[in-house]
Each structure stands twice: as C-alpha cells, then as structure tokens.
Structure 1
Amino acid sequence: MERLSVFGLLLAILCAITSKYASYGDTKFSNCSKRIDCDNSTGAVVSIDLRNPFPVDSDSSSRYGFWNLSGEIRPSLLKLKSLEYLDLSLNTFNAIPIPEFLGSLENLHYLNLSTSGFSGAVPSNLGNLSRLQYLDLSTEFSSLSCDSLEWVTGLVSLKHLAMNNVDLSLVGSDWISVLNMNLTELHLSSCLLTGSIPSTKPVNSTSFAVLDLSSNPLNSELPDWLVNVSTLVHVDLSNCNLYERIPLGFGELPNLQYFNLAGNNNLSASCSQLFRGSWKMIRYINLASNKLHGKLPSSIGNMTFLTNFDLSMNNVGGGIPSSIGKLCNLKEFDFFGNNLTGPIPASLGDLQNLTKLSLEGNELNGTLPESFGNLSELSMLDVSVNHLTGFISEVHFSRVRVPNPLNVAPYADVDLSSNLLEGPIPVPNVEIELLDLSHNRFSGSIPQNISESMPNLIFLSLSGNQLTGEIPASIGEMLLLLQVIDLSRNNISGTIPSSIGNCSLLKVLDLADNNLSGEIPASLGQLRQLQSLHLNDNKLTGNIPLSFQTLSTLATLDLGNNRFSGDIPLWIGDGFADLRILKLRSNGFSGEIPPNLSDLSSLQVLDLAENNLKGRIPGSLGDLQAMAREQIVIQYLLYGKYRGLYYEENLIITTKNQLQTFTKTLSLVTSLDLSGNNFSGDFPEELKKLSGLVVLNLSRNHISGKIPENISSLHQLSSLDLSSNNLSGSIPPTLSSLSFLGYLNLSNNFFSGTIPYAEHLTTFDASSFTGNPDLCGPPLPVKCRDAESDGGGSVIEEDNDGNEQEVIDKWFYMSIGLGFAAGILFPILVLAIRKPWSDDYFNFLDRIVDKWLWVEKKRSLNQRR
C-alpha cells in the first residue's frame, strides 16, 4: 500500500497527531497509536508494529482488509534512524524481495518479516545489524532461499533466529558452526538442512531454551549434550531421520516443557528407562513413529503437568499403568499402533480434561470401563482393532458432551470397530458425528431412535455385525448430514427406505451382503454427490432405476449377485466420467452390451459375468481408456473422508479362478469379466488395445475363431480364462511371452496342433489345456506326430515303439522339470526387475499401504486440534 512508501515523510507527523485523533475515538488512528511508538523526548519513531492481526488461515474478510499491507517498501524508511522495532509479519507483499536497505537500519533490535509473501534470496547485508536480537524470516511456502549463513556471524547480539521454511539446502552440512553461541531460540524447521547435529555442544548451556530443527533430512544421531542443557524448554526434532538411541536424561531437565521426536522411525529407547525421570515440568511429549519398546512405568503418573502424550506407532508393550489416572491435566492420550496388552484401566475415567483417547491397533482385552462415562470433555474415542469384549451401553457415554469453546460446529467421534463387542447397538445420548461400530458381534435391530439421539451424524458404519430387522426410515428423514452409510455384511431384511434419497450429502451407501428385497427406490437418484454405491449380494429385483443417470459423480456401482432383470441401460455409457467400477454380475440381465460403455473413460473393472447377455462382444470395448493404461500408481480410494475416518473402497474380483478381495491395491487392478453369458462371434481382436488389462475372463460363452497372434500386447495379464468356448486353431506362441501370467485356462475348446510349450507357458500344467481333442504335446499326455510344414502337429492315437516312446518321455519329463524350475525362478526375477502382479505382491502392498493409512489417519485426527 502507498502508506508504506511514504513512511519517511509521514510517520513523524502520525506520531504527533495520533493521540489527538485517538481522543476523538477515530478507530483507525486509535489503532495506529498502539502500533507506532515514538521517543517521548525526541519524537523520533522507535517502533513500527504493522503486523496483520489476522492469521494466514483466517477466513475473516478483515484478513485482507485495512491492516493487510502489500505493494513495495521504499528506501525512505531509512530516514527513521532511531528505529529499533519493525514488525511487518503476516502481510502479503506479493513475492517482492526483502529490501537490502533493511540491513542499514543499524539500531534495529527486532525485525519480523515472517509469513509476509517475500521471495527470492535473503540479503546477506542483514548481517550488518549488530544490535539485532530478534530475527524472524520464516515463510509459508519456501519462497525464500539462502545459499550461505556466513552473514549470521555478524549478528553478534542475536538471541532469537527463526527461518522456518527458508530453503537452506545449499548452505552445506557445517551450517551450525556459524550460529551465535549465545542464541536462546533457534527455529529452522523445514529448511532442507543436511548434515549431522554436532556431538559437541554448539550453544550456551545456561541460556539456550528452544531448538526446532523439525522436518529436515539430517540423518544424524541424537547428541548427548542436549540432556546437559538445563535451560531447555522446547525441543522439536521430529521428522529428521534421526537414528540410534534416545539419550537418557531428558526427564531430569528442570525446565523442559515440549519434547517432540516423532516421525524419525529409527530412534529407540526403553520406555521403562526413558520415563523413569521426574519430567516435572513436561507438558507435551510426542515420540510417535519410532522404535520405542518395553513397558510403561508407573512413574508416568508423576508427570502431572502433561497435556499431550503421544507414543503411537511404536513397539510399546505391557499394560497401561493405572497411575495414568493421576495425569489430571492430560487432554490427548495417543497410543495407537503398539503392542499394549491387558485391560483398559478404569482410572482413565478420572481424567476430567481428556478430549482425545486413541488406543486403536493394540492387543487390549477385557471390557470398556464404565468410568468412561465420567469423561465430560471427551470428543474423540478410538479403541478399534483390539480384543475388547462385553456390552456397550449408554452408561459408557453418560457424561460425554460435545465441547464448543469457539462457537464452531460441535463434534464427537466414537470408533469401537474391529473388536469382539456384543449386545444391542448402543445409542450414545450425545451429538456424535462419527460412529464406527463395524466388525464386532452386535446383534438385534438398528435402534429406531438412532436419528433422534445423534442428529448430527456424518459417518455411520455398522458393517460386519449380526444385525437383523429393517433399516429405520428415520435415517433418511432426520440424519440429513450423513456422508457415509455402511450397513454391509449383516442380516438386515426388508426394503431400502426411499427416505435415504433425502441424504443429499451422501457420498457412500453400502448395503451389500444383507437380505434386502424389493426394487431400488428411484429416490436414490437424488444423491447427486454419491461416489460409491454397493447394493450387491442381496435379493433385489426389478431394473436399474432411470433416475440413476443423474448420479454423475459415481466411481463405483456394484449391483452384483441380485435378481435384477432387463437390458443394461444405454445411458450407463453416458455422463459417468469418474466411474471406475461397474459390477453387474450374477443377475438376470439380458440383451446385448451397450456399445457406448466404451465412453466410460475411467472404467478399470467391468464385470458382467453370470447373466443372460448375448450377441457379439462389442469391439468398442477396446477403446476403454483406463484399461489401455498400465496402472502403476496407487490411488487411495477413500470416500467420505472426514476427520481421520473414511470409507475404504473394496471389491471382490474373480481372478485365477478364485474370489479375491482387493482394497489398498484396487486402483492397480484392471479387469474385464464377461464369463457365463451367451456371447457369440469371433474373439474380438480390438481387445488387444487394452494393454493395461490384468484380468480377462471370457469363459463359458460361445465365442469362436482364433486367439489373435498379437494377444501378447496384453503384457500386464495376470489371469486369462477363455475356457468352455468354441475357439479353434493353434495356440499362438506369443502367449509364452506374457511374463506376468499366473493363471491360464484354455480348456474345453477346439484348439489343435502342438502346444507352444516354451518360456512362461512351461509353468502351466495339463489342466490349462484339457478338453481340446486335437491338441497335443506337453504338458498333455498326448504326443504329436512330426510337425507339418505349417508348424502344426497331429495327435498320435497309438504307438507301440518303445524306443520312440522312451525318447518322448525323457523329453517330456525334462521339459516338466525345466518348466517347474522356471516357474519358481522366473517370478523371483520378475520381482527383482519389474512390478509384478502376483497375489503376494498385492498382499505385500496392502500391508505397506495399511501402515501408511495408520499414519495418515493419525495426522488427520491431529490436524483438527
């Protein structure tokens, strides 16, 4: 703004007149009088505080109003020779460089330019400010950089240095040697710093208080000297790739309040030793995602000032000591992803200030203490993935209330999933937003009053229980904020309430694997934000409602294993740009495949198996774009994600003649299954364009003609089933080049000639080729006559020549042995040099992604604080 460009001319005048205008109540100048200070004797400006009072993430319109400065800063500011204090933080200077002339304001004691939109190189002449005690150049988007920190040596009076998010990747590994030994605070978070933290003390142990080097790739051990700096108040070395042991003694530091070593993954310590100190002033401990082990000592009950305690994603074992109930100030207790055993102590119910309790992913047993009903401040309870038993009742939540300190939307989350809990569904009499009771042993019907008790419910999962009865219509009449409804894998009967169509924010509706009957209500077409719809494995009848053509955001439509009939609607091929999964298998659909299904550009799984479809397989299916691309990047199909909970897409796919459930790796799978219909005509050569296809199943149809020679272009195929058709001719030798092929079934056709038993085909046994009368050669026990000029062969009915038979047998068994060896060694080679598609690979990825999702869930839950 122009105000800044004329500081040198106007600030002295402002100092003279602000008191006058303030007396008349002028708001702007009254504020000015608080932000500009002048020397009482000389009238010289000594302090300018033009900090934007609204934080960067504020949604207030005032954030970019009167007090938001922009434009340029002109050298006329140099006329303020007596200036000692300058704060321009939290403004938006639109990527201008930091003015070099600021290095000439020789009387400056305080300079704060943080988060103000400056960019470019940090001017080295800031090192001329020998009286400067406080310097903050932190930025939000790494827009500033600095190639050397040598200029910092000139700041001989500096006590506080903050350069968070400034790019220091080029300063070298010896950056700490140039820092002033008399610093009291050092903030260099996310600066791309490298090199080890020195083993010798670089700071004054009698004054140094704050060390924040978080999120830098230091690859260092944690130095022992830290436990000897008695003045330390704040230590944040999280996400620094630190390794080896955590030095003992932090608990004896008399002033330590904040201790964060989270996310280093390789720091180790025994909990019984690490926490045996007094930790008398500690308020915050976060050692998540490391290698802590051992048991928690009862002495942790002495840390009575502690408000946050996070040891998640470690190897902590043993029980939770009952002394935990002495931590009267504790607000967040996060121990998910450890090996805790035994019951949850009832003393946790004494923590009256507790807002978050996260114990998921342990080995805890016993019942949920009824004392939890005393936790009047609790807003997040997660004890999922344990071995808890017993009943849950309203008593457990009798005093739980939804906090609303800042007049924002209230919330409360309860996740009791994946335990052994039983009895009727509990209905907490609090305004819960997220309720996950899935994968337990709850029984009975869904309570009719669930809508009245929890009107603000956003996420509801009761999947994988033993629920019976009907779906209450009130769910769609009162729970209008719902984004996820998952009632799958129960014994729910009756019809789908048409009132669910009123849940206009719904993103996921999963009613799969129940006993629902009747037709799909047309009102579901009103769910314009729906992304995932699973109605499979029920007893639903009728047609696909015409109203579904308005569900343009759908990514998954699974209606398989029902009793639907009629033609597949033509409109399915129109307007579904995001549809990844279309599964209509095991119904009574008839007619032909609509040719415009090829317009589904995102479709990766098309399953129309086990219907009454007929006609030719449309060649236009070869234009399915997503199946023509190799899927090599995992995309997490998480829908309705809200504050750490989410619905994770899953799908059962028939591959390698088995049913396999895909979750984490579902985005890597491309599958085309048209088996068990009445398709006829030649093998569609256009399918060769689907080079990313992993599963192709055309079995049990009436397809004729030959397998195209260029089928080898489907180089990602893991499962190929063409059995029980009318295919003829020779088996193309190019099949042997499909190195990922783990399942092949060409049985019960009319193939003829010699099996091209070489390369990868030697890993398959006779069952892949049986039922072809004119097919011969290994692995079939049918030998061939000498090859004709066209490379084929014919079956020998009988041959009593012992010598010839002996030679053939030797050749056959040798090839079997070589084939077996290749079958063992080749996948290992593939695993070493290529991305495989084997079942083991998918399972391995599932485990890796599972761990990642644990961490992401934790981050999401922490971000809401």
Structure 2
Amino acid sequence: MVVLSSIATEFVCYGNTHLMNCSEPDLQALIDFKNGLNDPDNRLSSWQSRSNCCQWRGIGCDNSTGAVIAIDLRNPYPLGSDSATRFGFWNLSGEIRPSLLQLKSLKHLDLSSLTFQDIPIPSFFGSLKNLQYLNLSKAGFIGKIPPSLGNLSSLQYLDVSYDFLSVDSLQWVTGLVSLKHLQMNGVDLSMVGSNWIEVLNSLSCLTELHLSLCGLSSFAFSLSSVNFTSLAVVDFSFNSFNSEIPDWFANLSSLVYVDITSSTLRGRIPLGFSELPSLKYLNLDMNNNLSAGCEELFRVGWGKIEVISLASNKVHGKLPSSIGNMTFLTDFLLFLNNVEGGIPSSIGRLCNLRNFDLMDNNLTGSLPEFLEGIENCGTKSPLPNLMHLELSNNKLVGKLPEWLGQLENLVGLGLSNNLLEGPILASLGTLQNLTDMGLEGNKLNGTLPVSFGHLSELHTLDISYNQLTGVISETHFATLSKLKILTLASNSFVLNVSSNWVPPFKVINLDMGSCQLGPSFPAWLKSQKELQFLNLPNTSISGSLPSWFWDISSNLSLLNVSFNQLKGQLPNQFSVTAFADIDLSSNLFEGPIPLPTVQIELLDLSNNHFSGSIPHNISNIMPDLIFLSFSGNQLSGEIPESIGQMSYLQVISLSSNHLTGSIPSSIWNCTYLKVLDLGNNNLSGVISGTLGELKQLQSLHLSNNKLTGEIPSSFQNLSSLETLDLGNNKLSGHIPPWFGNGFPNLRIISLRSNAFSGGLSSGLSNLSSLQVLDLAENNLTAQFPASLGDLKAMVGEQKVTKYLFYGKYRGRYYEESLVVNTKGKFQKYTKTLSLVIRIDLSSNNLYGEFPVEITKLTGLVVLNLSRNQISGQIPEGISSLQQLGSLDLSSNRLSGAIPPSKSSLSFLGYLNLSNNDLTGMIPDTGQMSTFDESCFDGNPGLCGVPLTVTCSNSDSDKGMRVWRMIIMMMGSLISGFT
C-alpha cells in the first residue's frame, strides 16, 4: 500500500505518565461490555471493577478528562496466522452489549479479527456520535450492514471488510460526511444498483476507497461533477464491471494507488493515467481485454510511477526507449500480453527496478548487448536493484549478453522457451543471490559452467531442452546445498561422479531425462530422502533396480525410468505416494505385473517382458486410475471384468499381448474413456454394443484380433470418435449407412482385411475430417462411388504436423498410431500420422469407370485401387494430385493411354499400373522416366521405355492424336461457355 492512513494509529498512545482516573459510568459500561464477551484465556484480566479503567488492556482515555475515548481489542494475529495464536489468548467472542452507548466520548473502536460468529453488526453502533474510527473487519459478523452507521457524521475510518456482510443500498454512506477511509472488501454489494459510484462521489473528504471482491457489476462511465477529488487510494479489484475504465479517473489528480485487478474491464487503458502527477502504483492485471499500444502509453509522463502491472491483457506494440525515463520504477509487469519487438537498452537507466516481467509475449530480436545509463546508478554494475528478470515464452534470439552476469542482486532469472543460442555465461555462476534460474527450451550449446557450483543460494536450476553437451562432475554441485529442483533433461550431458558421491543437496524434483547416467543405477540417489518427482527416461541405465530404491520410493509422486535397459523382476507390490504417476515402460522388466500398495492415477508398464495374467484385483487397488497401459508385453488370459469398475479411466492400452476371450462388456462403465486400444491380441467374439456408451471415446483400436459379427449400431453414438481401427478381424455385414452422419470428427477409418460386403454408402463423403479411408481386402461389391471426391479433409496439402495425442494427463498421453500399406510395404505412422492422406480400397469387387471426381482430392498422398474391376481411362486431371506419393491401379480393367500429365507428379515414388488394358506409348519425361518395367507389366498394348516393346510411329502418333482431339474438344467447350 502506497498510502498509509494515519487515522488507524491516532489512538495508539492511550495516555502518559499522568493518567486521569476514568469516570464511574465509563467503568461500569466497560464491565457490562466485558460480561457479554467470551474470554477463555482471560485476556481482559486487567478489567477489574476496583481499578482505574484507563490502565486496562486495550482502553485509552482522554488525558485531561479521564473519559474513555478508545477501545482497541483487535486480534494482532489475523486470519492466516498460526491457529494456536489466532484462536488462543488473543481471541474474543460473544455478544456486544449496548452499554457501550454510555461511553459518550468514545472515538475509536477496533474489534477486528475477533470471532463474533453468526451475529450482526449492532445497529446501536450508529448512536456512537463521537466515533471517528470503526474497524470491524474479519470478525465474523453476518447479515446486513445497519444503515444506522450513516449517522456517524464524525467517522473518518470505517472498515467492515472480509466478514459475511451485504448491503442493498449505499445511500446511508452519504451521511458519513467526514469519512476519509472506507474499506468494504468482500462485502456483497451486488444489489446496490448502478449508482453506487455517484453515492460515494458525495464523500468529498474521502482519500482511500477499498471495494475489492464486492460483486459489483456496473461502473458509471461519467460523472456530472467529481467531488471525491482527494482520493489517493482506489481498490476495485476482483469485481465484474464488464465495462471500460471511466473517464473521470483521469481527473483524480491526487491518485497515488489504483488497483482494478481481475474485474472484466475492456477497451483502452486511458492515457490520462500517465499524466497523474502523484500516481505511484497502477495494477490492471488479469482483465484480459484491456488494450493499449506501448509506444503511446509509455511515451511521456509517469513522473512518480513505481509499479506498473498490466499483466494478462491485450497490451501490444514495441516498448519505446522512453521507458528509461521512469526513474522511480520498481516493478514493470506486463506478462501475458502481445508486446512485440525487443527490450530497449534504455532500461539500464531504471536504477530502482526490482522486477521486470514480460513473460508470455511476442518479443523478438536479441537482448540488448549493452545497457544505457549505468553510470547514473552510482554503481559499477547495471540495474543494481534488479531481483527478478522474467522474459520466458517469447521469441528472443541471439546470445546471452554479458551484463546478465553482472546483476549482482538478481534472485530470479527466467529466459525459458525462447530461441536463444550460444553458451551459458560462466559469469552467471558469480550471482551469489540467485535462487531460481530457468533457461530451458532454447538452443543454448556448449557445456555447463563449473562456476555454477558456487551458487550456494540456488533453489531451482532448469536448463532442460537445449543443445548442451559435456561432462557434469561433482564440482558443478559443490555448494548447492539448497537445491530443490534440478532439471537437466533433453540435453547430451554425461554425469561423471564417483560411486560413493553424496550430493550436498536433497532435491524434491529431479529430471535428467536423455542425459547419460548409466550404465548402472545411480547410487547417489540413495541419499535423496526428500525426492518426490524422479524423471530419468532414456538415461542409459541398465541392470536391476537396487533394493534400497524401494526405501526412497515411498515419497514419490512421479516415477519415470522409461526407455532404459532395466531388467529383472519387480516386487509384487511397490510403495509410492497416493495418486502417483508410474512409468516403467520400454525396459526389460519381466515376471508378473507389479501393483502399488496405494491407489495411483497413472501406470504405464508397456513394452517390457511382463507375463502372466492381468491381476483380477486391479480395480480394488487402483480404483481411481486414469491412465493404464500394459501394451507390448507377453500377457495372457482374459481381460478381467473388474476393469469396468475403474470408472475414471481415460486410457486403456492393452495392445500387442496374447490376451484371449471377449471384450469385457463392463468397460461401458468407464464413461471418461478417451482411448481403448486392444489391438494385436487373440480376442474373439462379437464387439459388445455397450461400447457405444463411451461418449467421450476418441480412439478405438481393435485390429488384429479374431472378432466376429457386425459393427454395433450403438457406435453411431460415438460422436467424439477420431480413429476407428477394426482391421484384420473376421467382421462381416455391410458398412453401416449411418457412418457418414455418426462421426463428425472421424479422421481415420481402417476396416481392412475383414469380410464386409455390399456397397459403399454415399454418406461417407459427409466425413469432413476424414484423412485415412482403408477398406482394403474385403468383399465390397459396388460401383466406385464418385461421392468420395467430396471428402473435404483430403483437399489441399497438410503442411503442419498435428500430433494426435489423446487422454493427455499430467504430461502423459496416448500417442495415436496406425499401420498402413504404403508403396507396397506396411509402415507404422505416429508423429507424422496427421500428414497422411490416403484412400485404400484395394482387393474388393468395385466396378465402373474411374471417377474423375477423385482428382479433386488434391491433398491425397496415397491412392490404392488395385485388384478391383474398375474400367475406363485414367483421367488427365490426375495431374492435379500434386502431393501423390504412391499410386496403385494395378489389376483392374483400365484402358486407353497413360496421360502424359502424369510426368508432373514430382512426389510420385511408387507407381503400379500393371495388369490392365492400357495402350500407347509410356510417357518418358519427368517422374515417369524413373519407374521400371514391373510397373507396366500385363498391358499388352503399352510400348516404349522401360518396356522392351518399341513403339511404331503409328502407335506414337495415334496416342498423340487422341490427346490432341481431347484438348481441342475441351477448348471448344470452354469457348462455347464464354
């Protein structure tokens, strides 16, 4: 708080060495007041009827008359203090008796932070005519604030904050003609109407106004006249104004402190704030829709400003060099905005700057190589008072400037998630006050400076996700006894410490993923008794987990040792903290599935050598599990029905095992399920229609099993589904006609290698998100549907990779994958799956002419129509499929010439036109010249390279004449339309 009211302390000195005796009526009034209070710890023991009340605790008297003028019984340990003191000796409660009215000279009454639970503010307080100070805050009062308080015409200070109070009208406040300080934080003012500011405007003496968390929803944009011109402090934070900042703010020249945080303000930040001559503190954080251009807002003014906090708004533009003129500035907080450009070197003139935070903006360019005005600060080091520099999550480039290592009072440095490169400055290791350093997510290279071992105050070090290399030794940690968070992941560090090394630190969070810690499990972890988060994936560790590891694991909330070479059998039960995440995937563990001793939320044991059955009591031990993956093991037996009792599951991945039996019908109880992957097992039976109850399901993989029957009609309820993979089973029946309407988000359909029959519904063209359609190797018999040319997601090139992650939970997720037949080979796609646009209808009985409509699908990468009965000519428009990488039209009844335009398909790497009735010369230019004769075999009428059949002139001329006629006819048609 910039402005401190002197009213609150006016009566702190209750007397001097020449105390008058208090009057008998005052004494008796106080005794009666005491008798109404609950005083369990005898705090008011000095209040005795035969003693001078001017000497009692909390009582102040007039030095000349002896009249009681002050009662101060406030609890010096307010809410948030240690409960033993908050509710111990200093606590008073009970009733407030009207005997206080006998204190005719009472000016000061402070009952704040007591516990008058469930009683209203006494209305007789409004009759204490001489009262100048009244503080009832945080004392547990409930109900309406009595309007009788408006009779206190001498009152200068009123605080009724943080009770359980409400007001229907503020009209009574107009009677407080002497009021200087009004604090009503937390009072429910939602019913006061829209004229509340006009009412308060009548208080011409008002200097401080605090109305935070009051439920206010309107804000008068203009006032006919501004009367509260003495206002120095305004706190309207945490309301819901949904309006612009009123113009009259710019007329309050006495303003020193303004806080309108998180109050749904919108529109422009008034430039008048910069012209207020006394303004020291401005906080408009978290309004989200306030805007201003930096060049305009910070161009001039701000003569005495100390704190500017405009975080989480829409401040934009570049910071002007004039920011260096705000020489009183201590805090500049503009994180979560749209500030662009670089950091001006003029910030070097801000000698008082303590906190500079522009995190989460659009800053570009490099940090200034030099800072201006260092000589004006009276020190050799730049920005001598700077404690926190936070520029994370921007687009800053270039190297770290040398002046960073000269910020001798720096406590926190945040430059994470930028594009910074070059080495880490060794001079950063000389910043003896540094507690937090975040350089992660950049392109920094080189080694970790040994000087970092001198950062004895360091609590957090995060340099993960860079391009750092080299050996890290014990010297790097020599004095880091206060280190609690160490994150070195995704670099190429090699940890080289002695086998008996005991680190000076006891970290809580350790992340060294992708660093080389092996070959054996790090023995120094045995000393880390406070460890809660252990993340060591891909760290070249092999061998067995040591027995002592299970002694330190009981505090772990995260255990990730995935992608190593750890082996052996794990304990049947292991100890971690409740609701932990356990990832032991991609190792060499074997034996039965281990289970935790407490319920956890994530368990990933995929890609190991675990065997045996899935424990039937799994739901009893982990009823709240959210992520379950046992895929890629050697599990056998049936999936237990009890899995349906784990109702919070979002991911079930049991693929690539030897599981048998049917799919448990109980899975429908897992209503939060987003992924069900049971592929590559030996499951049999029909697909239960109860799976249609999984309304949030996004990915369903049941491929490579022995499932029979038809696709359940209940599947049309799976409106969130994006992947449907039922390939390589024994499913039969027709492809349901409701496919086109039931799956608005479907990206992938794979029904290949089943026994589906019938035709293809024209409704498939309604699947506007479809990128993969694989119906190969079925018994489909129908005319090739021209409507497939309307698949919108196959039009246009997919230029941006969208990672298909489902069931994401606390940094863990199921990564979508699909095995597809491309260029005659089966390949598994994961990270680039979103770029795959393909149609595979091969090995069916489709007939009719090759539909020219297919040529509208300009994003197609793979088209396989082989082994059908398709006839007619290959359309010339096939040249529009410029992204085509694989084209297989073999074993059909296609006739006519190969369009010369095919030569323009520059990405075409696989072509098979064999076993058709094509004729004429094979185009020998461009990409067509790269294919061998096997691509054209079985077409007796084809000639030319690469075949051994030489074209006669008549063959060549005949082919050219045909295409010439087609071009002439198209020209005539076009001219006819024009």
TM-score (norm. length: structure 1): 0.80
Partner of 2:322: 150
- Tell me: CA distance 1:620–1:22, structure 2 relative to 1, closer, same or farther (3 Å): same
Q: Does 1:311 align with 2:478?
A: no
Partner of 1:163: 334
Question: What is the distance in 1 between the residues matched to 2:842 and 2:713?
Answer: 26
Question: What is the distance in 2 between the residues matched to 1:460 and 1:53?
Answer: 45
Q: Does 1:463 align with 2:577?
A: no
- Tell me: CA distance 1:783–1:452, structure 2 relative to 1, closer, same or farther (3 Å): same
Deviation at 1:143, TM superposition (A): 2.8
Contact 2:544 2:566 in 1 (8 A): yes
What does residue range 830-849 of structure 1 map to in structure 2 within 5 Å? Answer: none
Contact 1:351 1:375 in 2 (8 A): no
Comparing 286-295 and 15-24, the one that deviates more = 15-24
Q: Does 1:334 align with 2:511?
A: yes
How far does the alpha carbon of each residue in 1:668-700 deviate from its partner, in whole angstroms, 9 at most, with x for none? 112111211222333233322222222111212
| Counterpart code for 2:778 | N
- Cα root mean square deviation, aligned: 3.5
Residue from 706, 709, 728 that aligns with 1:561: 728
Question: What is the distance in 1 between the residues matched to 2:817 and 2:336?
Answer: 39
Q: Does 1:718 align with 2:853?
A: no
Residue from 737, 742, 747 that aligns with 1:580: 747
Deviation at 1:130, TM superposition (A): 4.5
Comparing 503-512 and 245-254, the one that deviates more = 245-254
Deviation at 1:196, TM superposition (A): 3.4
What does residue range 14-413 of structure 1 map to in structure 2 within 5 Å? Answer: 19-20=133-134, 22=136, 30-32=159-161, 71=243, 72-73=245-246, 75=248, 81=254, 84-98=256-270, 100-101=272-273, 103-106=275-278, 108-116=279-287, 118-121=290-293, 128=301, 130-132=303-305, 134-143=306-315, 148-150=320-322, 152-153=324-325, 155-165=326-336, 168-169=339-340, 174-176=344-346, 179-190=349-360, 192=363, 194-199=365-370, 202=374, 204=379, 205=381, 207-270=385-448, 273-275=450-452, 277-299=453-475, 300=477, 302-319=479-496, 326=503, 329-373=506-550, 374-394=552-572, 397-398=574-575, 400-402=576-578, 411-413=579-581
| Counterpart code for 2:464 | A
Percent identity over paired residues: 45
Question: What is the distance in 2 between the residues matched to 1:765 and 1:487?
Answer: 43
How far does the alpha carbon of each residue in 1:638-682 deviate from its partner, in whole angstroms, 9 at most, with x for none? 111111111111111111111111111111112111211222333
Q: Classify the secondary structure of the residue corresponding to 1:578.
A: coil
Deviation at 1:751, TM superposition (A): 2.1
Deviation at 1:146, TM superposition (A): 6.0
Question: What is the distance in 2 between the residues matched to 1:124 and 1:732?
Answer: 64
Partner of 1:451: 619
Partner of 2:654: 487
Q: Classify the secondary structure of the residue corresponding to 2:806.
A: strand
| Counterpart code for 1:345 | P
Q: Classify the secondary structure of the residue corresponding to 1:633.
A: coil
Deviation at 1:344, TM superposition (A): 2.6
Deviation at 1:239, TM superposition (A): 3.4
Deviation at 1:772, TM superposition (A): 1.9
Residue from 695, 703, 706 that aligns with 1:539: 706
- Tell me: CA distance 1:140–1:749, structure 2 relative to 1, closer, same or farther (3 Å): same
| Counterpart code for 1:143 | V
Partner of 1:755: 922
Question: What is the distance in 1 between the residues matched to 2:333 and 2:735?
Answer: 64
Number of residue pairs matched? 754
- Tell me: CA distance 1:224–1:681, structure 2 relative to 1, closer, same or farther (3 Å): closer
Question: What is the distance in 2 between the residues matched to 1:583 and 1:781?
Answer: 40
Contact 2:274 2:300 in 1 (8 A): no
Question: What is the distance in 1 between the residues matched to 2:609 and 2:132?
Answer: 71
| Counterpart code for 2:603 | L
Question: What is the distance in 2 between the residues matched to 1:22 and 1:661?
Answer: 69
Partner of 1:840: none
- Tell me: CA distance 1:218–1:651, structure 2 relative to 1, closer, same or farther (3 Å): closer
| Counterpart code for 1:669 | V
Q: Classify the secondary structure of the residue corresponding to 1:574.
A: helix
Segments of 5+ residues of structure 1 without an aligned counterpart are: 1-12, 55-62, 403-410, 794-865
Q: Does 1:419 align with 2:587?
A: yes
Q: Does 1:473 align with 2:652?
A: no
Deviation at 1:126, TM superposition (A): 9.2
Structure of greater Rg: 2
Deviation at 1:792, TM superposition (A): 4.2
| Counterpart code for 2:462 | N
Contact 1:346 1:371 in 2 (8 A): no
Partner of 1:9: none
Deviation at 1:144, TM superposition (A): 5.3
Deviation at 1:337, TM superposition (A): 3.0
- Tell me: CA distance 1:99–1:629, structure 2 relative to 1, closer, same or farther (3 Å): closer
- Tell me: CA distance 1:555–1:187, structure 2 relative to 1, closer, same or farther (3 Å): closer
Greater helix content? 1
Deviation at 1:446, TM superposition (A): 0.9
Question: What is the distance in 1 between the residues matched to 2:846 and 2:297?
Answer: 76
Contact 1:86 1:111 in 2 (8 A): yes
Question: What is the distance in 1 between the residues matched to 2:558 and 2:446?
Answer: 29
How far does the alpha carbon of each residue in 1:188-219 deviate from its partner, in whole angstroms, 9 at most, with x for none? 43452644333468474354433233344443
Question: What is the distance in 1 between the residues matched to 2:634 and 2:250?
Answer: 74
Contact 1:394 1:429 in 2 (8 A): no
Contact 1:312 1:334 in 2 (8 A): yes
Question: What is the distance in 1 between the residues matched to 2:213 and 2:318?
Answer: 25
- Tell me: CA distance 1:84–1:754, structure 2 relative to 1, closer, same or farther (3 Å): closer
- Tell me: CA distance 1:471–1:709, structure 2 relative to 1, closer, same or farther (3 Å): same
Question: What is the distance in 2 between the residues matched to 1:14 and 1:314?
Answer: 65
- Tell me: CA distance 1:533–1:50, structure 2 relative to 1, closer, same or farther (3 Å): same
Question: What is the distance in 1 between the residues matched to 2:840 and 2:307?
Answer: 65
Question: What is the distance in 1 between the residues matched to 2:946 and 2:410?
Answer: 74
How far does the alpha carbon of each residue in 1:18-62 deviate from its partner, in whole angstroms, 9 at most, with x for none? 84362897578645599x9869xxx987766666699xxxxxxxx
Comparing 256-265 and 465-474, the one that deviates more = 256-265
Question: What is the distance in 2 between the residues matched to 1:498 and 1:31?
Answer: 59
- Tell me: CA distance 1:468–1:37, structure 2 relative to 1, closer, same or farther (3 Å): farther
TM-score (norm. length: structure 2): 0.71
Question: What is the distance in 2 between the residues matched to 1:219 and 1:76?
Answer: 40
Comparing 363-372 and 283-292, the one that deviates more = 363-372
Contact 2:772 2:837 in 1 (8 A): yes
Question: What is the distance in 2 between the residues matched to 1:235 and 1:514?
Answer: 51
Contact 1:479 1:503 in 2 (8 A): yes
Structure showing greater relative contact order (alpha-carbon pairs closer than 8 Å, 6 or more residues apart): 1
- Tell me: CA distance 1:550–1:677, structure 2 relative to 1, closer, same or farther (3 Å): same
Contact 1:636 1:664 in 2 (8 A): yes
Comparing 697-706 and 659-668, the one that deviates more = 697-706
Deviation at 1:135, TM superposition (A): 1.1
Contact 2:473 2:496 in 1 (8 A): no
| Counterpart code for 1:360 | P
